[in-house]
Amino acid sequence: MTRRPKRAPRTAAVQWSRLLRRFGPQKLRPSALVAELDTSLEHLSYQPISSEAVHGLRYFWFDGLFASISLNFYANFVTLFALAYGASNAQVGQLTAIASLLAALSLFPGVWAVGALGRRKPIVILSGAGVGRFLLLVWACVPFFIHNPRVAIWGIIIINALITFMSNFGNPAWTSMVADIVPLDMRGRYFSSRNLIMNVMALVVVPLGGWLVTTGNGLPGLPFGGYQLVFFLAFATGMVSTFSFQQIKEKVDPNIRGRRHRWLDTARTIKNTPGFMGFVVSAFVWNVGLQIAGPFFNVYLVSKLGANTTMVGLLTSVTSVFALIAQPWLGRLTDRRGNMWMLGVTGLLIPFLPLAWAVVGAPWQVIFINIGAGILWTGYNLANFNLLLEMAPNEARADAAAFYQFVVAGAAIIGPLLGGYLADAAGFKLIFVLSAAWRWLGVFAFLWLAARPVARARKQAAAEG
């Protein structure tokens, strides 16, 4: 075995010289930065990949970057926007539940559109990436045109539902297309890299958004000026994300057109895919538990613990910091141990987070919950998305993704309505405890109904050679 010759120790001067050569002014040109990114993306694959594939990976990476900026400018503040108009806990639950109802109603029309058009990218661009992002401007205009608080609350709820409808309408097309953009052998590392930059953006944007809301709401004559500003910034950065996705070349599948005529075959294919139905059932149980408490954490933080929007943003950034730290390690660990293992381990630990919410007594204590959330949810989300791509049958991936999202949306209708009712009737701590118990039920359902059949099918395939 040959050994590398020992390198001479690098002096500080040599290290700084190399750093300046690598990141000096000439390297900060857009073309140089893009070349550096392309090289990094190529190194994520164990197999040689074409320049066209690298082009798609690059713009999908940029899409994630600007989509994260857009999402984090507004997502954490929609509930607080409704609360600023005097929304009740029941209305907070309705904000999520009605959006989830429209999400469920949008998915199968989204699949039908893929089959009718025979293309996926135009559907993504025109739905959530297009109309959905223009609706952010409508949110920004609510305080200008609606002065009755009750009407404004329902305006916020309806706009939120329409944004969700458009996003989920394009989701089957997006999921199917992503499987073509990112090669199987590099998905863990690529999505780890992509999620890393998305978490960096969340780390910066969420506290900035909280500060902008707090500062902007104090402007004379603009009691909701801060919210209006973050919605406008979300629109502007979201359109850059849309432009980036538009640059990706779609791999046109001639078998997609007309798939709308084979619903029975699709249902049979999904049913006969080992573990997929169990994966869907466990996702339903898990997400009911998730949504019982999920919409109410920030409500509890503001109304019971006394936090303001700036503090909400800063506490959310704690999650992003630890997601950022954990992302590279969790990506490698997922590639090494597998998605089933990662989802099982993180799924067993995540229910401790809502239990912790039941005992906190001050906003600063939420820091420790969000540290755990940043690490655990990073691993869970990475594994869950990879499993959806991995377990969905190739010949009906868009249909299977729509079915999965439909079931998850159904859970997101039931959970917030139940949580809102119980929060008004018995208090927030009950829903936090109930959420933990329900999540554990969901992860045990995953281990029994999804992981076990897949392991059995793999063992049988190995035995058959």
Do 446 and 372 meet the contact criterion of CB atoms below 8 Å apart? no
Give yes or no for residue 8 having a pLDDT over 80. Answer: no
193 falls in which pLDDT band (50, 70, 90)?
A: confident
What distance in Å separates the CA atoms of residue 388 and residue 397, rounded to the nearest whole number? 9
Which residue would you say has higher pLDDT here, 225 or 2?
225
* pLDDT (tens digit per residue) in 15-39: 445 544 555 555 556 777 788 888 8
Q: Which of 111, 143, 121 is nearest to 231 (CA)?
A: 143
Give me the amino acid identity at 462: A
Residue 72 has pLDDT above 70, yes or no: yes
Instruction: Note the pLDDT of residue 383.
Output: 92
Q: Please give the Cα distance from 228 to 215 (Å, whole number).
A: 12
Question: Do the beta carbons of residue 333 and residue 378 sit within 8 Å?
Answer: no
Predicted pLDDT at 10: 44
Q: Where are the alpha helices (DSSP H) in 296-427?
A: 297-303, 309-337, 339-349, 352-357, 366-391, 397-426
More confident of the two residues 290 and 187: 290
> What letters, b where the CB count within 10 A reaches 16 and e where it falls short, cover 101-126?
bbbbebbbebbbbbbeeebbbbbbbb
Q: How confident is the model at residue 110 (pLDDT cuts 50, 70, 90)?
A: confident
CA atoms within 13 Å, Cβ hemisphere of 195: 29
What is the pTM assigned to this prediction?
Answer: 0.77
CATH class of segment(s) 51-245+264-464: mainly alpha
Which pLDDT score, from 0 to 100, does residue 28 have? 57
Q: Rounded to the nearest 5°, which phi and psi values hold at 174?
A: -65, -50
Please give the biggest Cα pair distance in the chain. 78
Q: Are 104 and 410 in contact (CB under 8 A)?
A: yes
When mean pLDDT is compared across 251-265, 280-294, 332-346, 349-363, the lowest value belongs to 251-265
Phi, psi of 86 (to 5 degrees): 95, 25
Burial code (b: 16+ CB inside 10 Å, e: under 16) for 130-156 equals bbbbebbebbbebbeebeeeeebbbbb
* Number of H-type helices and E-type strands within the chain: 21, 0
328 close to 192: Cβ distance less than 8 angstroms: yes
| pLDDT at residue 17, as a whole number | 54
Q: What is the mean pLDDT of residues 61-75?
A: 94
- pLDDT digit string (tens) for 206-263? 999 999 999 999 788 889 999 999 999 999 999 999 999 999 998 877 666 655 445 6
